[in-house]
Chains A and B, each alone.
Chain A
Amino acid sequence: MATMQTTAKFTLRPSHRVGAAWLLFIWMLLAPLAHSEVYLSNEQFSARYFAEQPPLRGQLWLTEELKAAAEPLLGRKPSGLRVRYQRSTDGLRSAWIMNEIGKELPITIGVVVERGAIVAVEILAFRESRGWEVRFPAYTAQYRNARLEKRQLSENIDGITGATLSVRAVNAVAKLALFYAEQLEPL
């Protein structure tokens, strides 16, 4: 009996191709909704910016005066009675991790400040369905070297279309971290 040689060839019917295209389209539409995740834990953040020596940990008490002074930066009085921070042993560098609501859910933002200027901004966790583009290094790099000048950031920060509220939240936290870092006593 002659053996038939068959070659497996994977082809899609035209109707299946249309179906696959629709599935891809729907996935592209829904993909942004799935960006609710943690990118960096506090420990990883700490290890990244205090690589040489474990940082000192402290807390800044938010008095009524301090809250009133911070209000213009945040657009409202900061909530809570304390803010925890990490600080290098020489006291020059400090790191602040804060939550700020974008549209509905808190964005966890880490800001590293050294000598009154921002060294880095990182998005540790993003829970909103939209606006997650703020986590991209191309965006967060804009904050590098920004200082607080007349309650505004000294560097111009370009926004992101469709992420206005997230950008606003990151801007507010960046200003707040610079302000809080100013309140720390030198070591």
Chain B
Amino acid sequence: MSKKTRVSAAMRWHSKVGVGLFWLLIVLSATGIALNHTDRLGLAKTILNHPTLLSWYGLEAQPRPSATVHNQRYELRSHAVAGQWVGQIYREAQPLTHCTPPLLGSAQLSNQLGLLLCGQELIVVTADGELFDTWTSLDGLPSGLVALDNSAGQAIGLHSDGRRWLLDIDLFTATAIASAQPLPEPQQIADAAGISLQTLLLDLHSGRLFGALGIWIVDIAGVLFSLLAVTGLWSFLRRPR
């Protein structure tokens, strides 16, 4: 085979494979560029919960945990980051504040203030649905609270072991009071409510979105991309001058 024939055969292979891989290359490039700018594009914070997508990931779409205080509906939206659940309380589709899942309980403290108990925080909200303050264990909130109660306008935190804490929302102090029957442990978060856009793009980029077959396709495409580079360079060097 002459030099010219070999080059033209290589170029035919190059162009056919190139056309065949066109869309895959575009998708891999686009997802790769997007993943390089995860923070700027807010990919990790964009949560997708379309039923088709959730079912593709083997997750069941469930109603988000919510609580109503002073006729204001608060919703917990959560997603996993590096094996850790991260949540945010939303009111009327607007983010209000951070809330470590699960949302354990709520109580109306007075005409002005209400409470939302999260895994590690007690969120104080106003009757208008505004954030008033957040009490965490660093400020002395007893850890292990699983429910809230309200006694004559005073907040009571219930521990799973039966201990009861009088919670002073003004000073953020907790006082142990008489114990009661132990409460059942709170259910762990069951609302695998969404997939982050970062996860989706990552799975698309690696082919994992389509299971083992997708991974093999991306692997083979990687080998073909390398061969394209080789045939491209080879035909450039061997082209008739």
Contacts and interface: CB of A to CB of B under 8 A. Distances in A.
Interface of A: 33, 36, 38, 41-43, 57, 79-82, 84, 97, 99, 101, 103-106, 108, 124-125, 129, 164-165
B131 A124 contact: no
Nearest to B38: A103
Given A129-B81, A165-B39, A79 B140 contact: no
Contacts of A33: 82-83
Contacts of B138: 38, 41-42, 97, 108, 124-125
A99 B134 contact: yes
A45 B70 CA distance: 36
12 contacts: A38-B138, A80-B131, A81-B130, A81-B133, A82-B133, A99-B134, A101-B98, A103-B44, A104-B44, A124-B138, A129-B84, A165-B39
A42 B81 contact: no
Contacts of A129: 81-82, 84
B136 interface: yes
A141 to B, nearest CB: 23
A105 B82 CA distance: 12
Interface in B17-56: 39, 44-45
Contacts of B140: 42-43
Contact of A105 (B83, B86, B97, B172): B86
Interface of B: 39, 44-45, 81-84, 86, 96-98, 126, 130-134, 136, 138-140, 171-172
Looking at chain A's contact residues, the main secondary structure is mixed
* Nearest 5 CB-CB pairings of A with B: A129-B82, A81-B132, A104-B86, A79-B131, A80-B131
Contact of B139 (A42, A82, A101, A164): A42
Contacts of B131: 79-81
A104 B172 contact: no
Contacts of B45: 104
B136 A105 contact: no
Given A42-B140, A104-B44, A80 B39 contact: no
Given A81-B132, A97-B138, A99-B134, 8 more contacts: A36-B84, A80-B97, A81-B130, A84-B172, A99-B98, A104-B44, A104-B45, A105-B86
B132 A103 contact: no
A180 B132 CA distance: 17
B132 A80 contact: yes
A64 to B, nearest CB: 11
Contact of B39 (A38, A99, A103): A103
B126 A81 contact: yes
A162 B30 CA distance: 23
